[in-house]
């Protein structure tokens, strides 16, 4: 069977690492490239983190490209310490001092355009961080989106409840202009795993303990990088989300990756145009669902709403159960 071709655009924090491991374990996926963008940490750390993840599964042959180090407009508020200053929990001592020798010299945006142009209508793009690289790609090549097979985004919110600002989700809040450009100009089939979708389909902490205590290199890696990170503290996450969501284990970026790997994981979605607000001090970066289409937009996206958590859990388990090489 022909494998699904994928480019992963990431700001590699702990949940990105889990999503990448999920993609590496999927037998029907071929990862053409990993492109890096600022977000959870600086882009240099992101590049190093991607190499760390690929090394765990002995998949060092996948090309990695360095991309945008800040947002399209203005200065980055760089960055969140949600997953530690290095993005992987600040527990790894194996600093790869040679990662700059391993990184591809081509810029991530140019690589995206080239790879998609070589395999038009065959490549799925999975965007796990701020959308800066994607916005630059469409500005350099306006035909880029129509050459994609489809686009999966982890980001945005459905109800104006933010996790970085009052009204905006982290990835969109880090670069609202890029989020706006992508959701206005990418007319390919688009699937959005929002913050609420991830939180409302949380898994149990008992599942998390079973997940990371498997006796494999990937599980030991995930156990280590989550060991001192407050975002993987049962008590901290209960306190943070009780207002809107039931507490539980949430690996945000893995929800978008799971939808790309197996569409049946998504059991319900909202089909409508969306808009990213760029003005104001409160709502900037918020994603608005244009359900009545008062904005008269023709492009409709799929905003994911419900998840088959059993299938999702199985994908997570397999991602850490995989052999070291493939």
Per the domain annotation, does 128 fall within a domain?
yes
User: What is the structure's pLDDT at 245?
Assistant: 64
Please check whether residue 179 is in contact with residue 73, taking contact to mean a CB–CB distance below 8 angstroms: no
User: What is the structure's pLDDT at 84?
Assistant: 78
Per the domain annotation, does 326 fall within a domain?
no
Number of neighbouring beta carbons within 10 Å of residue 285: 27
Two structure tokens written together for 118: 């070589």
Provide the domain count of the chain.
1
Predicted confidence (pLDDT) per residue in 278-292, tens digit:
988 899 999 999 988
Per the domain annotation, does 81 fall within a domain?
yes
Two structure tokens written together for 155: 């980001």
Two structure tokens written together for 95: 């600093």
Please check whether residue 302 is in contact with residue 270, taking contact to mean a CB–CB distance below 8 angstroms: yes
DSSP state of 294: T
What CA–CA distance (Å, rounded) separates 169 from 194?
A: 8
Q: How far is CA 228 from the centre of its chain?
A: 22
294 pLDDT above the threshold of 90 = no
Q: Mean pLDDT in the chain?
A: 91
Per the domain annotation, does 219 fall within a domain?
yes
Mean pLDDT throughout 109-137? 98
Per the domain annotation, does 179 fall within a domain?
yes
Mean pLDDT throughout 207-211? 97
DSSP state of 3: P
Q: How far is CA 157 from the centre of its chain?
A: 14
238 pLDDT above the threshold of 80 = no
* Domain range for 93: 4-321
Per the domain annotation, does 107 fall within a domain?
yes
Two structure tokens written together for 199: 């939180």
| CATH code of residue 239 | 3.90.245.10
242 pLDDT above the threshold of 70 = no
């Amino acid at each position: 069977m022909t494998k699904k071709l994928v480019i992963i655009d990431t700001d590699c924090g702990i949940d990105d690492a889990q999503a990448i491991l999920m993609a590496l374990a999927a037998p029907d996926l071929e990862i053409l490239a990993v492109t890096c963008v600022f977000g959870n940490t600086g882009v240099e750390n992101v590049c190093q983190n991607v190499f760390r993840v690929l090394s765990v599964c002995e998949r060092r042959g996948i090309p990695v490209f360095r991309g945008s180090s800040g947002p399209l407009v203005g200065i980055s508020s760089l960055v969140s310490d949600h997953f530690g200053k290095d993005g992987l929990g600040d527990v790894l001592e194996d600093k790869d001092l040679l990662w700059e020798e391993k990184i591809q010299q081509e810029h991530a945006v140019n690589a995206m355009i080239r790879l998609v142009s070589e395999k038009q209508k065959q490549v799925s793009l999975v965007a796990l961080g701020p959308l800066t690289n994607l916005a630059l790609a469409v500005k350099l090549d306006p035909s880029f989106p129509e050459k994609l097979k489809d686009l999966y985004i982890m980001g945005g919110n459905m109800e104006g409840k933010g996790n970085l600002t009052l009204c905006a989700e982290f990835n969109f809040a880090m670069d609202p202009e890029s989020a706006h450009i992508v959701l206005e100009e990418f007319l390919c089939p688009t699937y959005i795993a929002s913050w609420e979708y991830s939180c409302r389909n949380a898994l149990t902490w008992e599942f998390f303990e079973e997940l990371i205590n498997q006796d494999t290199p990937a599980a030991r890696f995930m156990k280590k990088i989550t060991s001192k990170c407050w975002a993987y503290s049962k008590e901290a996450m209960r306190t943070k989300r009780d207002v809107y969501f039931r507490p539980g284990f949430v690996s945000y970026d893995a929800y978008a990756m799971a939808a790309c790997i197996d569409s049946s994981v998504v059991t319900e979605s909202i089909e409508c145009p969306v808009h990213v607000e760029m003005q104001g001090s409160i709502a900037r970066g918020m994603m608005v669902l244009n359900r009545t289409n008062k904005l008269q937009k023709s492009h409709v996206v799929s905003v994911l709403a419900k998840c088959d958590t059993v299938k999702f859990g199985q994908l997570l388990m397999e991602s850490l159960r995989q052999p070291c090489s493939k």
